[in-house]
């Protein structure tokens, strides 16, 4: 009885397992009812002007296929298959095969690759994807899988990736760089020959001595705030150069300077700058490393820390020179409330109105960059400012020319000027 | 022969020139230089954080030992710092990461740091009011012009402006897009050229005040 029972059970299990329908991948033929699908091709090419390791795939997107999806599989010259993308809308028109250096399946230079495109009206299943990546014998044509159809496109030509030795997209930048460098060299040469170069008066910088002197007379320290930039930011570098000049004055007046810092690298650099300035002024004994201290790398934590320090130490002069964001007014208004003379400067145009409203003097953008030149007034440094002014004239001339050509071309519809404007526009494209 | 400040100036010039070349040459090894140097910077910056912590703790420790003014706050800072670090370590051991939603470290962040940040940020509203009051006082022609423009822009940005005249929001937009933008772009051009000037001065060794 037991034997009969086990026999029936085994037979039932066998029937149950083998009666389940297995998905069948069927080749329906090379022809497709839709000639647009048949003629759909992918164009693969190396990405120009890059460092290698990148291939670009493009295709035209006929309106009739707007609801279709495309999946792409890459097969290298050794036959290794990698899924590039799955089920992206045909309308996207392009995809780039670029990966990071850490990715083992990235495109390697000088290795040949073919790409197979799979067009489908529905998302392709994991099961089908696995078959396509493992065992599928790629051949152009129409297929069915689980009652869904998809179309395998003809493979692309073998394509190789290669690195470029020059990025032609940056040609305009290179030409600008050459013009700018030559202008700077010309004016530096003029300065070297002893030509008298002019720099206009900057009230904020003339007030540095007054601010340091006033603070000394009041017996109060000076506070120098470099903002929340890093040492890689140009405004922070400009702030550090101004700090050197201010610290020298501080040493000459034998007073104290406090530099609360947001970033440890900026703090270390500021310590060295102040130390050097005190040494130059002949008072290295007055230098105290602990006056240039780290606060925190949290924006509002920094603002709170510096505000607290202002309220406790009551500095007579506050310099806000560097990169500032939303904390600018919190700092400047607190400084104003304690009656300190404040000289600010930043390149962040959104913060300039706050500084103008709350500080006694504000260095607007380029004035901050020119500050070290102004405070030092060395002929060679003045030469660089003259070069900047000359370049400004060139840029303004191009702006006026662009306006006139646009007015005559697009405004008065004169074709000649419109063409000229287009040429100018193309030339300035980066 | 290079000596003194000449050595760092020479290194700056060489490195700066290579970085400029790498901007135009995507081919290896030039193309990767920017990424590599930024990685180096991140590593160095990571180590300097120790200097920052040393500076912060050292300053407050001295305040406590010397009993200088407000030294009680320094105890709070050191206790807060030590407590956060210890809890961070314990939670990393307990949960695998200190940033887990269930960890006390995340609790400290969500219920101590975030409210403190929000408090500082919200102070800005009051500071804007006091700064605006001073800036908009009609002391001279320029300040009066600023006051009038500010009133138009403020009215144009609220529903009341639309009620006064449908053209007010449009006029506000014109002020922001034309005169305001022209001034902003002018300043922007100056800043870009100024940054270029600073870079060239540093590269050529004319500007040396950043060197110790």
The predicted pLDDT at position A5 comes to: 65
Q: Output the pLDDT for position B138.
A: 73
Contacts of A378 in chain B (CB under 8 A): 206
Would you state the pLDDT for residue A319? 97
DSSP B142-182: HHHHHHHHHHHHHHHTSHHHHHH-THHHHHHHHHHHTHHHH
Which residues touch A267 (CB under 8 Å, ≥6 apart)? A259, A261, A292, A293, A294, B48, B51, B52, B55
pLDDT given for residue B63 in this prediction: 93
CB contacts of B198 in chain A (<8 Å) are 234, 237-238, 241, 369
Separation of CA A423 from chain center: 28
pLDDT of residue A23: 65
Q: What is the pTM of this model?
A: 0.81
Nearest CB to B130 within list A294, A333, A388:
A333
Query: Which helix or strand (DSSP H or E) is residue B44 part of?
Result: helix B33-66
Residues 6+ apart with CB under 8 A from A293: A258, A259, A260, A261, A267, B55, B56, B59
Q: B140-171, pLDDT tens digit by residue?
A: 888 888 889 999 999 999 999 999 999 999 99
Min Cα separation B187/chain A (Å): 6
Contact status of A49 with chain B (Cβ, < 8 Å): yes
Q: Which of residues 178-207 of A touch B (CB under 8 A)?
A: 180-181, 184, 188
Measured between CA atoms, how close is B14 to chain A, in angstroms?
16
pLDDT tens for chain A, residues 1 to 430: 667 766 666 666 666 555 555 567 888 877 666 676 777 889 999 999 999 999 999 998 888 888 889 999 999 999 999 999 999 999 999 999 998 878 888 999 989 999 999 999 889 888 888 988 988 888 888 888 887 888 888 889 999 999 999 999 999 899 999 999 999 999 999 998 988 888 888 999 999 999 999 999 999 999 999 999 999 899 999 999 899 989 999 999 999 999 999 999 999 999 999 999 999 999 999 999 999 999 999 999 999 999 999 999 999 999 999 999 999 999 999 999 999 999 999 999 999 999 999 999 999 988 998 888 888 788 888 898 999 999 999 999 999 999 999 999 998 999 999 999 999 888 887 6
For chain B positions 118-177, those within 8 Å of chain A (CB to CB) are 120-121, 123-124, 127-128, 130-132, 134-135
B212–A contact, CB cutoff 8 A: yes
The reply to whether A249 touches chain B by the CB within 8 Å rule is no
* Min distance B92 CA to chain A CA atoms (Å): 22
CB pair distance less than 8 Å for A264 and B191: no
How many CA within 13 A on the CB side of residue A250?
34
Contacts of B187 in chain A (CB under 8 A): 349, 352, 364-366
Do B197 and A369 touch, CB atoms closer than 8 A?
A: yes
Q: How far apart are CA B6 and CA A369, in angstroms?
A: 23
Token digits for A365? 């953008």
Paired sense of beta strands A141-145 and A148-152, if any: antiparallel
Q: What is the pLDDT of residue B208?
A: 77
Ranges of each domain in chain A? 23-160, 169-196+380-428, 203-376
Q: Dmax over Cα atoms in chain A, in whole Å?
A: 119
Residue B6 confidence (pLDDT): 85
Name the CATH code of domain A203-376 (choices 3.10.50, 3.30.565, 3.40.50, 3.10.620): 3.40.50
| A70 neighbors A90 (Cβ within 8 angstroms) | yes
Residue B13 burial by CB count (10 A; 0-12/13-18/19+): exposed, middle or buried?
Answer: middle
Interchain contact, B23 vs A381, CB within 8 Å? no
Given a contact cutoff of 8 angstroms between Cβ atoms, the answer to whether A388 and A199 are in contact is no
Rounded CA-CA distance B21/B33 in Å is 10
Choice between A8 and B196, residue whose per-residue pLDDT is larger: B196
Residues in chain B: 212
pLDDT band per the 50, 70, 90 thresholds, residue B71: very high
* pLDDT for res B211: 67
Contacts of A296 in chain B (CB under 8 A): 56
Assign domain A23-160 to its CATH superfamily. Answer: Immunoglobulins (2.60.40.10)
Can you read off the two tokens belonging to residue A34?
């839709």
Residue showing tokens 């396509």? A132
Query: Looking at the complex, does the CB of residue A382 fall below 8 Å from at least one CB of chain B?
Result: no
Q: Of all helices (H) and strands (E), which one includes residue A405?
A: helix A379-406
In angstroms, rounded to a whole number, what is the distance separating the alpha carbons of residues B91 and A274?
41
Strand pairing report for A43-46 and A112-120: unpaired
pLDDT of residue B212: 53
Q: Identical fold at A23-160 and A203-376?
A: no
Q: Give the nearest partner residue to B197 out of A164, A376, A388, using CB atoms.
A: A388
pLDDT at B206: 86
Who has greater pLDDT, B207 or A209?
A209
Write the pLDDT tens digit of every residue in B38-66. Answer: 899 889 888 989 999 999 999 999 999 99
Which pLDDT does position A33 carry in this prediction?
62
Mark A50-80 as b/e (b = at least 16 C-beta within 10 Å): bbbbbbbbebebeeebeebbbbbbbbbeeee
Closest by CA position to A138, among listed A105, A159, A115: A115
Residue A230 DSSP label:
-
Say which residue the tokens 């897009």 belong to.
Answer: B177
Q: Do A294 and A261 form a contact (C-beta atoms < 8 A)?
A: yes
């Amino acid at each position: 009885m037991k034997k009969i029972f086990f026999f029936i059970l085994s037979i039932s299990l066998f029937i149950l397992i083998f009666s389940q329908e297995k998905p069948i991948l069927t080749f329906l033929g090379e022809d497709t009812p839709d000639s647009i699908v048949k003629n759909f091709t992918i164009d693969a090419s190396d990405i120009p002007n890059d460092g290698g390791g990148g291939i670009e795939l493009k295709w035209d997107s006929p309106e009739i296929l707007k609801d279709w999806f495309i999946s792409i599989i890459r097969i290298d010259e050794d036959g290794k298959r990698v899924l590039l993308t799955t089920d992206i809308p045909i309308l996207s028109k392009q995809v780039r095969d670029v990966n990071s250096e850490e990715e083992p399946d990235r495109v390697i230079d000088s290795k040949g690759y073919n790409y197979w495109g799979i067009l489908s009206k529905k998302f392709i299943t994991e099961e089908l994807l696995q078959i396509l990546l493992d065992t599928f014998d790629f051949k152009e044509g129409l297929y069915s899988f689980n009652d869904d159809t998809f179309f395998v496109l003809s493979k692309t030509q073998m394509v190789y990736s290669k690195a470029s030795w020059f990025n032609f997209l940056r040609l305009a930048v290179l030409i600008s760089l050459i013009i700018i460098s030559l202008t700077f060299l010309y004016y530096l040469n003029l300065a070297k020959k002893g030509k008298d170069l002019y720099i206009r008066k900057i009230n904020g910088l003339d007030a540095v001595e007054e601010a340091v002197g006033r603070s000394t007379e009041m017996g109060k320290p000076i506070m120098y705030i470099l903002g929340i930039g890093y040492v890689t930011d140009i405004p922070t570098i400009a702030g550090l150069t101004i700090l050197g000049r201010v610290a020298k004055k501080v040493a000459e007046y034998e007073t104290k300077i406090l530099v609360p810092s947001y970033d440890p690298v900026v703090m270390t650099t500021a310590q060295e700058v102040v130390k050097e300035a005190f040494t130059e002024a002949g008072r290295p004994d007055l230098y105290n490393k602990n006056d240039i201290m780290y606060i925190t790398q949290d924006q509002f934590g920094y603002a709170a820390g510096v505000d607290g320090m202002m309220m406790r130490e009551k500095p007579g002069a506050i310099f806000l020179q560097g990169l500032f964001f939303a904390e600018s007014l919190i700092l400047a208004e607190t400084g104003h409330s304690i009656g300190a003379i404040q000289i600010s400067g930043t390149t962040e145009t959104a913060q300039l109105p706050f500084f103008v409203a709350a500080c006694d003097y504000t260095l607007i953008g380029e004035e901050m960059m020119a500050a070290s030149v102004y405070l030092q007034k060395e002929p060679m440094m003045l030469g660089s400012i003259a070069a900047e002014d000359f370049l400004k004239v060139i840029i303004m001339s191009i702006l006026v020319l662009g306006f006139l050509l646009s007015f005559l071309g697009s405004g008065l519809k004169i074709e000649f000027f419109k063409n000229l404007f287009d040429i100018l526009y193309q030339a300035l494209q980066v | 022969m290079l000596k003194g400040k000449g050595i760092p100036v020479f290194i700056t010039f060489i490195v700066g020139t290579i970085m400029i070349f790498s901007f135009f040459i995507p081919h290896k090894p030039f193309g990767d230089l920017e990424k590599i140097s930024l990685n180096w910077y991140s590593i160095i910056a990571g180590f300097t954080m120790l200097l920052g912590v040393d500076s912060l703790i050292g300053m407050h420790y001295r305040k406590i030992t010397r009993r200088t003014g407000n030294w009680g706050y320094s105890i709070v800072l050191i206790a807060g710092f030590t407590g956060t670090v210890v809890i961070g370590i314990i939670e990393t051991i307990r949960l695998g990461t200190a940033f887990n939603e269930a960890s006390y470290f995340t609790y400290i962040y969500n219920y101590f740091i975030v409210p403190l940040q929000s408090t500082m940020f919200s102070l800005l509203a009051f500071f804007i009011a006091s700064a605006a009051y001073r800036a908009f006082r009609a002391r001279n022609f320029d300040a009066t012009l600023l006051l009038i423009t500010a009133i138009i822009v403020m009215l144009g940005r609220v529903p009341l402006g639309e009620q006064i005249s449908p053209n007010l929001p449009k006029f506000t937009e014109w002020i922001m897009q034309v005169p305001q933008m022209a001034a902003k772009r002018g300043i922007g051009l100056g800043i870009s050229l100024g940054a270029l000037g600073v870079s060239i001065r540093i590269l050529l060794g004319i500007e040396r005040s950043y060197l110790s």
